[in-house]
């Protein structure tokens, strides 16, 4: 263990950002910091969730003088409708990503672009869902399973098949509370229908539907996204890579992949590793091709292919401002429209690939299952040709980067346990050693740290500082999305970061040879966390609501995060939010999401925009769960 190991501080990252902002000023382009200034202060009605523009009699805004909209909707109805629409938007988005992944499985073939990589996982799922496997070609099975997944989205009757993976207790609670999710499309349509002018005005039922549409995502669409991606591209296992802007390489052709659906970036990395393509890059004077990731496409690539992580959500403009990006290739979600104008100030070629995300200034190359290789090859060839067009006077690459371990899928975590302890206990594929650590107090509990960056708080500060305090208190962290990337940028995915842990967690990290923050993947991979908590509850023999485990989204910003928070709560896990959920104009809504849901599903939100007190509340919450268990 090197005692010289130090983290990259938020201040150091801010200094990098400030230096890159100077480049932005030099080339005459705005960046998010400028736009935050222009948008501040935000609209007070919007912030409190009490502006309604659902019909053309409005927009209506609630004030003490005008406590009702023209139709008579009050603050509770309006804030509730806005909240449910956010959850529905997020559930639709994750789920549609999952649907695209399922179509790739339907289109997969031995000689096509998309293949079955984890055949074991496919067979296991086929058996779970009653698809015949004996004596069949793996692609016939893949096509049947893929079609079942696709059809799940719009089936007229019944409930989501994935929900059968939850604990018996959760399934019973969901059924009794009328929350068991039907088809994704049905739940999203129901949410939109309920919130139309002249429908639900009682906030309780809006919050209930938010839980249900969330469950349709977490135990439906997102789970499909994760499981299909594992079957197609491989189930992640732990390995080492690097994170932060220093992964960009001046000597290489830099290609940045950004978004969420790994279908494009999988092809890019496959073709970038082709010796012929590397030869072409060398022919133009580069040392090779450096594919690096942003946001959750970056997480997907990092988890499966050792692709380096350039940064998280608020770093997307920074990456371009380094002046060394030959191509930016995006798929869907979390892409600032401003990356188009920023690219125009440099030699960077900007490509969109999905009909769902068409952005001005991009070259649009629409990816299908049958042209994916040609698209990837075209992007890489054009990036290589573009290497010569750099402007030396605009180049600055911050040198911060850290070793980052990623790939802790449920299988990856169990694999570590099997290697270290389970093999001695003659029982494989179990979380029991982990549970023993929690019961004995060596580990106090776990936090699932997820979500975005949001300039309403100091970017990455909440993620990093809260993680450090949790680790010091022997609380292990599983992380996804931009939270996981914040950990990577700071150095908390480095195994040497165990020096920041309390004695118990440090011992566990040493014995299991793991970093203290376990990178579990992208936003849709929060579905892995749902499987993890349910399987731990099963192995322990208690309910999910009893586990000393919480969810936390300290810097969330997207509708997807609202959907996630709803399904995490509905799965029985208290969720701590560092950003206000835009319902503050309704005391009834605030009560429903913090206390009301506890009566239905045994969990709720804790909201505190101060990360220093939020983390203390998490520790208190975990200790209270332990006390209730008598451990
Ligand atoms: Fe106003 Fe009611 Fe229309 Fe909303 S639904 S804009 S509150 S009239
Ligand atoms: S990318 S949804 S900013 S986590 Fe998944 Fe990051 Fe949030 Fe997008």
Segments in 390-501 forming alpha helices (H): 410-417, 423-425, 432-440, 461-472, 481-490
Which range, of 195-204, 290-299, 415-424, averages the lowest pLDDT? 415-424
How far, in Å, is the centroid of ligand 1 from the Cα of 196?
Answer: 9
Sign (positive or negative) of CA dihedral 175, 177, 181, 187: positive
Which residue CA neighbors atom 8 of ligand 2 most closely?
Answer: 334
Q: Using the predicted structure, report yes or no on whether residue 19 has a pLDDT greater than 90.
A: yes
Percent of the chain with pLDDT over 70: 99
Identify the CATH number of the domain defined by range 406-629.
Answer: 3.40.50.2030
Q: Which CATH class is domain 72-233?
A: mainly alpha
Q: Using the predicted structure, report yes or no on whether residue 12 has a pLDDT greater than 50.
A: yes
Ligand 2 pocket at CB < 6 A? 260, 295-296, 312-313, 334, 451-452, 481-482, 522-523, 558, 560
Q: Using the predicted structure, report yes or no on whether residue 556 has a pLDDT greater than 90.
A: yes
pLDDT in tens, 303-323: 999 899 999 999 999 999 999
Mutate to test the pocket of ligand 2, among 89, 449, 481 (most ligand atoms within 8 A of CB): 481
Any ligand 1 atom below 6 A from CB of 60: yes
pLDDT in tens, 346-372: 999 999 999 999 999 999 999 999 999
What average pLDDT does the segment 515-542 reach? 98
What average pLDDT does the segment 460-464 reach? 98
pLDDT in tens, 103-151: 999 999 999 999 999 999 999 999 999 999 999 999 999 999 999 999 9
Which residue CA neighbors atom 7 of ligand 2 most closely?
Answer: 452
Mean residue pLDDT of the chain comes to: 97
How far, in Å, is the centroid of ligand 2 from the Cα of 568?
Answer: 16
Q: How confident is the model at residue 426 (pLDDT cuts 50, 70, 90)?
A: low
Give pTM, 2 decimals.
0.97
Q: Using the predicted structure, report yes or no on whether residue 11 has a pLDDT greater than 70.
A: yes
Rounded to whole angstroms, the Cα distance separating 324 from 387 reads 8
How far, in Å, is the centroid of ligand 2 from the Cα of 506?
Answer: 29
Q: How confident is the model at residue 422 (pLDDT cuts 50, 70, 90)?
A: low
How far, in Å, is the centroid of ligand 1 from the Cα of 189?
Answer: 20
pLDDT in tens, 380-393: 999 999 999 999 99
Rounded to whole angstroms, the Cα distance separating 470 from 474 reads 7
How far, in Å, is the centroid of ligand 1 from the Cα of 562?
Answer: 23
Rounded to whole angstroms, the Cα distance separating 100 from 118 reads 18
Q: Using the predicted structure, report yes or no on whether residue 1 has a pLDDT greater than 60.
A: no
Q: Where are the beta strands (DSSP E) in 312-356?
A: 325-330, 349-352
How far, in Å, is the centroid of ligand 1 from the Cα of 55?
Answer: 5
Ligand positioned closest to the Cα atom of 484: 2
Rounded to whole angstroms, the Cα distance separating 378 from 230 reads 26
Which residue CA neighbors atom 5 of ligand 1 most closely?
Answer: 197
Bridge partner list, 446: 476, 549
Percent of the chain with pLDDT over 90: 96
Rounded to whole angstroms, the Cα distance separating 599 from 382 reads 57
Q: Using the predicted structure, report yes or no on whether residue 423 has a pLDDT greater than 70.
A: no
Q: How many CB atoms lie within 10 A of CB 382?
A: 16
Any ligand 1 atom below 6 A from CB of 53: yes
What average pLDDT does the segment 233-241 reach? 97
Element (H, E) at 303: helix 295-305
pLDDT in tens, 485-509: 999 999 999 999 999 999 999 999 9
What average pLDDT does the segment 81-87 reach? 98
Residue 166's nearest CA partner among 631, 601, 625, 576 is 601
Question: What pLDDT, on a 0 to 100 scale, did the predictor assign at position 200?
Answer: 98
How far, in Å, is the centroid of ligand 2 from the Cα of 463?
Answer: 13
- Ranges of each domain in the chain: 72-233, 245-394, 406-629
Do 72-233 and 406-629 agree at the fold level?
no
Ligand positioned closest to the Cα atom of 57: 1
In sequence order, what are the residues at sequence separation of 6 or more whose Cβ sits closer than 8 angstroms to the Cβ of residue 249?
287, 290, 324, 397
Is the domain 245-394 a CATH 3.40.50.2030 member?
yes
From residue 161, give the alpha-carbon distance in Å to each of 142, 155, 568. 17, 11, 18
Q: 598: which 2 tokens?
A: 């506890």
Residue 114's nearest CA partner among 232, 231, 227, 272 is 232
Rounded to whole angstroms, the Cα distance separating 337 from 288 reads 29
Q: Using the predicted structure, report yes or no on whether residue 2 has a pLDDT greater than 50.
A: no
pLDDT in tens, 57-67: 999 999 999 99
Any ligand 1 atom below 6 A from CB of 583: no
3-state DSSP assignment of residue 131: coil
Rounded to whole angstroms, the Cα distance separating 550 from 572 reads 9
Element (H, E) at 95: helix 75-106
């Amino acid at each position: 263990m090197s005692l010289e190991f130090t983290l990259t501080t938020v201040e150091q990252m801010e200094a990098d950002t400030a230096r890159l902002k100077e480049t932005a000023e030099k080339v005459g382009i705005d960046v998010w910091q400028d736009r935050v200034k222009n948008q501040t202060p935000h609209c007070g009605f919007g912030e409190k969730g009490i502006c309604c523009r659902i019909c053309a009699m409005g927009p209506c805004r609630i004030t003490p003088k005008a406590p009702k909209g023209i139709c008579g909707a009050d603050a509770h109805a309006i804030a509730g409708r806005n909240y449910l629409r956010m959850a529905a938007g997020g559930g639709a988005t994750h789920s549609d990503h999952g649907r695209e992944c399922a179509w790739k499985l339907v289109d997969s073939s031995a000689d096509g672009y998309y293949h079955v990589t984890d055949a074991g996982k496919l067979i296991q799922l086929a058996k779970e869902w009653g698809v015949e496997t004996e004596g069949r070609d793996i692609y016939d099975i893949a096509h049947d399973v893929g079609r079942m997944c696709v059809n799940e989205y719009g089936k007229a009757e019944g409930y989501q098949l994935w929900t059968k993976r939850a604990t018996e207790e959760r399934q019973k609670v969901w059924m009794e509370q009328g929350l068991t999710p039907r088809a994704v499309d049905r739940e999203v349509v129901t949410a939109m229908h309920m919130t139309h002018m002249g429908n639900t005005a009682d906030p309780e039922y809006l919050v209930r539907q938010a839980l249900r549409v969330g469950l349709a995502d977490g135990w439906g669409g997102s789970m499909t996204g994760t499981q299909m991606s594992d079957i197609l591209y491989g189930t992640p296992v732990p390995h080492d890579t690097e994170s932060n802007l220093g992964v960009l390489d001046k000597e290489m052709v830099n290609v940045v992949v950004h978004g969420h659906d790994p279908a494009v970036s999988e092809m890019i990395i496959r073709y970038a590793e082709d010796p012929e393509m590397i030869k072409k890059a060398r022919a133009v004077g580069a040392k090779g091709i450096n594919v690096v990731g942003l946001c959750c496409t970056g997480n997907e690539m990092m988890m499966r292919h050792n692709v380096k992580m350039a940064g998280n959500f608020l770093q997307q403009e920074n990456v371009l401002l380094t002046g060394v990006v030959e191509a930016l290739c995006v798929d869907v979600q979390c892409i600032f429209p401003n990356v188009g104008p920023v690219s125009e100030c440099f030699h960077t070629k900007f490509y969109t690939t999905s009909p769902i995300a068409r952005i001005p200034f991009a070259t649009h190359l629409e990816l299908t299952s049958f042209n994916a290789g040609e698209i990837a090859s075209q992007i890489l060839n054009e990036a290589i040709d573009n290497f010569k067009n750099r402007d030396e006077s605009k180049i600055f690459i911050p040198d911060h980067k850290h070793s980052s371990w990623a790939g802790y899928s449920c299988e990856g975590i169990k694999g570590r346990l099997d290697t270290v302890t389970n093999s001695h206990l003659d029982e494989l594929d179990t979380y029991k050693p982990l549970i023993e650590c929690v019961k004995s107090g060596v580990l106090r509990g776990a936090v699932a740290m997820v979500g975005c960056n949001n300039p309403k708080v100091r970017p990455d500060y909440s993620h990093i500082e809260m993680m450090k305090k949790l680790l010091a208190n022997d609380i292990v962290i599983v992380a996804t999305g931009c939270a996981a990337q914040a950990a990577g940028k700071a150095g908390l995915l480095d195994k040497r970061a165990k020096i920041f842990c309390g004695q118990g967690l440090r011992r566990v990290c040493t014995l299991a040879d793991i970093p203290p923050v376990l990178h579990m993947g992208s936003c849709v991979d929060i579905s892995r966390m749902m499987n993890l908590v349910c399987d731990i509850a099963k192995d322990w023999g208690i309910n999910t609501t009893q586990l000393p485990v919480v969810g936390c989204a300290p810097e969330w910003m997207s509708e997807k995060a609202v959907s996630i928070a709803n399904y995490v709560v509905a799965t029985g896990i208290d969720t701590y939010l560092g950003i206000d959920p835009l319902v503050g104009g309704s005391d009834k809504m605030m009560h429903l999401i913090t206390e009301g849901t506890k009566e239905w599903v045994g969990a709720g939100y804790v909201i505190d925009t101060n990360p220093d007190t939020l983390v203390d509340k998490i520790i208190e919450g975990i200790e209270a769960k332990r006390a209730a268990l008598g451990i």
